[in-house]
Chain A
Amino acid sequence: MELLRFATCGSVDDGKSTLIGRLLFDSKAILQDTWDAIELSSKNRGDEYVNLALITDGLRAEREQGITIDVAYRYFATPRRKFIIADTPGHVQYTRNMVTGASTAHLALILIDARQGILEQSRRHAIIASLLGIPHLVVCVNKMDLVDNDRATFERIRDEFALFARKLQVRDIAYIPISALKGDNVVDRSEHMPWYEGPALLRYLEEVEIALDEDLDDPRFPVQYVIRPMSDAHHDYRGYAGTVAGGVFRPGDAVRVLPSGLTSRIRSIDRLEGAIDAAVPPMAVTVRLEDDLDISRGDMIVGVDNSPHVASEFEADVCWMAERSQLTPGTRLAIKQTTRSTRVLVRSVESRLDVNSLDEDPTIDTLRLNEIGRVRLRTTQPLFFDPYQRNRLTGSFILIDEATNNTVAAGMIRRPLP
């Protein structure tokens, strides 16, 4: 059984909560007592129907104000897959939450109200999904029951979205006509839309191929922790613990270590249960090399003929997440990328992205809360990275304000600068 992480975003009225509630309830992830509690809360609030937002909106402030203020993680499983939903609010002032939820998602689910067609918000969600490198997008045209399950309505929305999506980098887009409220095409194929020949949403989520989404071409192993037992049984043991960030590693493979550039071969890939013969992303393993090299946290073991970029100047897209500060040229921050931590200087803000249209505004030189823009950065130590659209683990970084210790930005590297 595989694990699929998917992100949903949207506001209260587009049926997102109804859809999530149905997936959770039909797969038994909402249990009876939780359901009873929600039913009671809904009645107390004067809601006419069971308010499914109460499942995910667990904080007191959210319940009182009737809003979702944060990413909520929800879990359900079918016999075929386990699912983690990162449910985020859809308004533009919550772009940072969407970015957060999208960062680890294999798939993004976008809901479009069949009566209203594609809204600015639908485009924004798709643009953020694309920017965050989510490989799969599922566009659910919802409330089909309210447009008489009309095929032409669905196809018009699908075609319009497909035209817009040509500008995106999403590899795989599926379109499903559903009614979350009635359950049409959610868990089972609907009898009301015989013209639709694709799978129901849950079937699609169970079957979409995600094993090849990771970068399996470029061997990347950021060293996280050096293991030296210094015990009698393992006197000379020196292993490099970490999470595989790209490629396939096997014993005997020729590797290079960055930043030293020294080469060696993999002696073994160890786990407590015994040595294994291949490691792929995102496995957490311990690698031993044939040669005794000086390697520490922040170094990266890579393919001998397949190195990432090694650079301290690069261009990146960043989403600014801090309320009380902004990003301007000259800003100095701490940066964490893979297991490497160093400092960074903002050289320039090249443009700001309009997340509703993909237009770039080059006249801007400041990024504020929830804004996304293209920047040029210089780090004090070189980083080892791939472009984010090629590898989400080696191409991503966070920026940290050293005065407040807060995470103030999420970054996606585009290219090294000469």
Chain B
Amino acid sequence: MTTALERAQLARLSHLQALEAESIHIIREVAAEFERPGLLFSGGKDSIVMLRLAEKAFWPAKIPFPAVHIDTGHNFPEAIEYRDRRVAELGIRLVVGSVQQAIDEGRIRDETGPRASRNRLQTQVLLETIAAHRFDAVFGGARRDEEKARAKERVYSFRDDFGQWDPKSQRPELWNLYNGRHGQGEHFRVFPLSNWTELDIWQYIADEDIEIPAIYFAHRRDVFRRDGMLMAVGPFVERLPGEDPFEANVRFRTVGDMTCTAAVESDAFSLEQVMAEIAITRISERGQTRADDRFSEAAMEDRKREGYF
């Protein structure tokens, strides 16, 4: 028999151990109860951590579902390279839903002009991909600390047959008992990282020694200033008069579509330096670097209602 003191020491998990255990529980529960799950994987840091947790959940077996990427065609090449390498390492299938292909086939229309972004177009392609592959559960790396609409979303987020989220008719979610029952054509978005914060993600990446794409660290890049944010100069973004490019040391806090993801000036070349910068920042991740959340106070809620992640 162990003494009370020994048991207390055993039972004292770190916050990352507790978060990891919760996430693995969720991932296994979905694999056990759904027929065709898929895991959204973009090469961004949150989906990298989520994929690592899925790897742990089923080790030494392979992850029993494919990775899914909604490719806007405007990605950072570093993220795509990382995506392909990681998927090959794990020996899992990669399903790609291509926004470019949907545009070429005339199913959706590309936005034009200097502020054009394919962010909204992703939703349509995501829903098509879910339907085409008959996914009944799709893991997403969203966190509740990112945005106030997400703070109210369940871990198992029910989507009707139009893929829409209705914040007012969410199922109660109690203990670690998740209800994934659904009808034909309906599906769930499942968020195993719901209770993680940005800092938790970085600490976990450091603790686990997880490789991440180089764009998360400071590097020299041609950028221009728009709405107080630093946007990367690239083939997909048209600059307005006065938006003159200059070179700066920058890193990315989030990695999404190049047209709506901004960089921050930074001299953080290592993981420790990145974490130190985050620990003292006074600006939230999405507020600083995501043009897509700036439309209105309820921009995220509106996009989620339409079927966004």
Residue A8 lies at the interface, judged by CB distance under 8 Å to chain B: no
Separation of A337 and B150 alpha carbons in the complex (Å): 27
A392 proximity list for chain B (CB < 8 A): 175
Contact A59 B301 (CB under 8 A): yes
Which of A97-105, A185-193, A197-205, A305-313 is the interface stretch? A97-105
One digit per residue, 1 when the CB lies within 8 angstroms of any chain B CB and 0 when it does not, for chain A 103-143 equals 11000000000000000000000000000000000000000
Which of A172-180, A224-232, A353-361 is the interface stretch? A224-232
B132 proximity list for chain A (CB < 8 A): none
B58 proximity list for chain A (CB < 8 A): 225, 227, 241
Contact A280 B11 (CB under 8 A): yes
One digit per residue, 1 when the CB lies within 8 angstroms of any chain B CB and 0 when it does not, for chain A 310-349 equals 0000000000010000000000001011010000000000
Contact B151 A58 (CB under 8 A): yes
Residue B85 lies at the interface, judged by CB distance under 8 Å to chain A: no
Nearest-neighbour CB distance to chain B for A333, whole angstroms, equals: 12
Also in contact, A211 and B61, with CB within 8 A (given A72-B152, A243-B25): no
A271 proximity list for chain B (CB < 8 A): 56, 59
Residue A212 lies at the interface, judged by CB distance under 8 Å to chain B: yes
Partner of B172, one of A28, A284, A410: A410
With both beta carbons as reference points, the residue of chain A lying nearest to B33 in the complex is identified as A341
Also in contact, A2 and B12, with CB within 8 A (given A284-B28, A336-B179, A406-B171): yes
Partner of B181, one of A73, A74, A405: A405
Partner of A228, one of B19, B31, B61, B173: B61
Separation of A43 and B176 alpha carbons in the complex (Å): 40
Also in contact, A31 and B173, with CB within 8 A (given A37-B297, A75-B195): no
Separation of A69 and B151 alpha carbons in the complex (Å): 13
Partner of B283, one of A32, A56, A61, A230: A32
Residue B106 lies at the interface, judged by CB distance under 8 Å to chain A: no
Contact A241 B28 (CB under 8 A): yes
Separation of A70 and B301 alpha carbons in the complex (Å): 14
Separation of A54 and B177 alpha carbons in the complex (Å): 30
Contact A63 B287 (CB under 8 A): no
Partner of B152, one of A71, A397, A402: A71
Contact A82 B15 (CB under 8 A): yes
Contact A61 B168 (CB under 8 A): yes
Contact A212 B287 (CB under 8 A): no
Residue A214 lies at the interface, judged by CB distance under 8 Å to chain B: yes
Separation of A224 and B297 alpha carbons in the complex (Å): 40
Also in contact, A227 and B287, with CB within 8 A (given A56-B151, A96-B172): no
B47 proximity list for chain A (CB < 8 A): none
Contact B283 A224 (CB under 8 A): no
Nearest-neighbour CB distance to chain A for B297, whole angstroms, equals: 7
One digit per residue, 1 when the CB lies within 8 angstroms of any chain B CB and 0 when it does not, for chain A 25-42 equals 000100111100100010
A56 proximity list for chain B (CB < 8 A): 148, 151
Nearest-neighbour CB distance to chain B for A253, whole angstroms, equals: 12
Contact A75 B56 (CB under 8 A): no
Separation of A28 and B183 alpha carbons in the complex (Å): 43
Partner of A243, one of B4, B21, B62, B281: B21
A96 proximity list for chain B (CB < 8 A): 172
B283 proximity list for chain A (CB < 8 A): 31-33
B17 proximity list for chain A (CB < 8 A): 283
Interface residues of A in 61-96 (CB under 8 A from B): 61, 63, 69-75, 77, 81-82, 84, 96
Interface residues of B in 154-203 (CB under 8 A from A): 167-168, 170-177, 179, 181-183, 194-195, 197, 199-200
Interface residues of B in 116-153 (CB under 8 A from A): 144-145, 147-152
Contact B181 A31 (CB under 8 A): no
Contact B287 A405 (CB under 8 A): no
Separation of A364 and B127 alpha carbons in the complex (Å): 47
Residue B71 lies at the interface, judged by CB distance under 8 Å to chain A: no
Partner of A405, one of B29, B32, B179: B179
Interface residues of B in 12-68 (CB under 8 A from A): 12-15, 17-22, 24-25, 28-29, 31-32, 55-62
B147 proximity list for chain A (CB < 8 A): 58
Contact A77 B197 (CB under 8 A): yes
Also in contact, A410 and B174, with CB within 8 A (given A1-B15, A31-B281): yes
Contact B24 A272 (CB under 8 A): no
One digit per residue, 1 when the CB lies within 8 angstroms of any chain A CB and 0 when it does not, for chain B 267-309 equals 0000000000000011110011000000001100100000000
With both beta carbons as reference points, the residue of chain A lying nearest to B283 in the complex is identified as A33
Nearest-neighbour CB distance to chain A for B222, whole angstroms, equals: 26
Contact B171 A82 (CB under 8 A): no
B32 proximity list for chain A (CB < 8 A): 224-225, 297, 339
Contact A233 B151 (CB under 8 A): no
Contact A100 B10 (CB under 8 A): no
Residue A407 lies at the interface, judged by CB distance under 8 Å to chain B: yes
Residue A3 lies at the interface, judged by CB distance under 8 Å to chain B: yes
Residue A282 lies at the interface, judged by CB distance under 8 Å to chain B: yes
Nearest-neighbour CB distance to chain A for B147, whole angstroms, equals: 7
Nearest-neighbour CB distance to chain B for A238, whole angstroms, equals: 10
Indicate the member of B9, B11, B56, B174 with the most A CB atoms within 10 Å.
Answer: B174
A284 proximity list for chain B (CB < 8 A): 20-22, 24-25, 28, 57
A241 proximity list for chain B (CB < 8 A): 28, 57-58
A37 proximity list for chain B (CB < 8 A): 287, 297
Contact B174 A99 (CB under 8 A): yes
Separation of A278 and B8 alpha carbons in the complex (Å): 13
Also in contact, A393 and B176, with CB within 8 A (given A282-B21, A339-B32): yes
Residue B112 lies at the interface, judged by CB distance under 8 Å to chain A: no
A164 proximity list for chain B (CB < 8 A): none
Residue A281 lies at the interface, judged by CB distance under 8 Å to chain B: yes
**For the complex of A and B, 10 pairs with smallest distance between CB atoms:** A58-B148, A32-B282, A284-B24, A3-B15, A405-B181, A82-B15, A229-B61, A33-B287, A272-B59, A103-B174
Known: A37-B287, A104-B175, A280-B10. 5 other contacts (CB 8 A): A77-B197, A227-B59, A242-B28, A336-B177, A398-B179
Q: List 22 A-B contacts (CB under 8 A).
A: A1-B15, A2-B12, A2-B15, A31-B281, A31-B282, A37-B297, A59-B149, A61-B168, A73-B151, A73-B194, A74-B145, A77-B197, A84-B195, A99-B174, A103-B174, A224-B32, A225-B28, A241-B57, A284-B57, A396-B174, A400-B181, A406-B179
